[in-house]
Homo-oligomer: A and B are copies of this chain.
Amino acid sequence: MCGLFYYVIMQTIIPEHLILEFGGKLSTHKKNTAIFDRGAKALHYYQVKSGEIKMVNYSPDGQEFIQGFFREGQSFGEPPLFGDFAYPASAICCQDSRVYKLTKVHFFDLLEKHFEIHKCFNELLSQRLQYKGMILNEISSHPPEHRILTLISFLKQSFSPDAEFTVPYTRQQIADMTGLRVETVIRTVRKMEEEGQLTIRSHKIVI
């Protein structure tokens, strides 16, 4: 059940004292620097202590596609550890960040000794598959308005199903998550406000 909490109240996936107990170290990273690059071998488990990290692919002409954002308490870059393949995307700091780092062997050691945490990763990976499958379906066959609405509805559902939800992303970031261009997102969001599908409060999208 950790997954629910993971989204809703941002609970840490592995408690900090356990990471430290198994030899984890805290490392600091400056804004706009990479924690690892696409193609690198996966050697560590990473968990955000503070700041914000994005997993991102760059196309030859410099366009970004954002696979996901990771904030306090969230882990990132585990699939290559479990599946034994190179990083398919780069981890870039959106802000100055502090990140726990645990070697692969110590991470697996921890999992073996803590079944309840191992189970959480199963749930976590499944929820990421749900997200990626959803975006994939949207990008493959739906127009901008539908893509954006699906994304922000999913975010609202995850973070604040009942209360009002302010989308914590810029138009550019929404574009990079939905395979659209900034201008298209800006135009579409304006149109959606006119149609009453969402509210814009001092440029922020509220739903």
Contacts and interface: CB of A to CB of B under 8 A. Distances in A.
Nearest to A135: B136
B130 A67 contact: no
A202 interface: no
B82 A126 contact: yes
Residue among A4, A65, A135 with the highest chain B CB neighbour number at 10 A: A65
A128 interface: yes
Given A118-B118, A125-B125, A83 B130 contact: yes
B136 A67 contact: yes
A170 interface: no
Contacts of A1: 84
Contact of A84 (B3, B80, B140): B3
Contacts of A133: 57, 67, 88-89, 132
A43 interface: no
A80 B123 CA distance: 9
Contact of A79 (B63, B81, B130): B130
Interface of A: 1, 3-4, 57, 59, 63, 65, 67, 78-85, 88-89, 118, 121-123, 125-130, 132-137, 139-142, 178-179
Given A83-B123, A122-B125, 14 more contacts: A59-B141, A65-B141, A67-B137, A79-B130, A80-B130, A81-B126, A82-B126, A88-B133, A118-B122, A121-B122, A122-B122, A125-B125, A132-B132, A136-B139
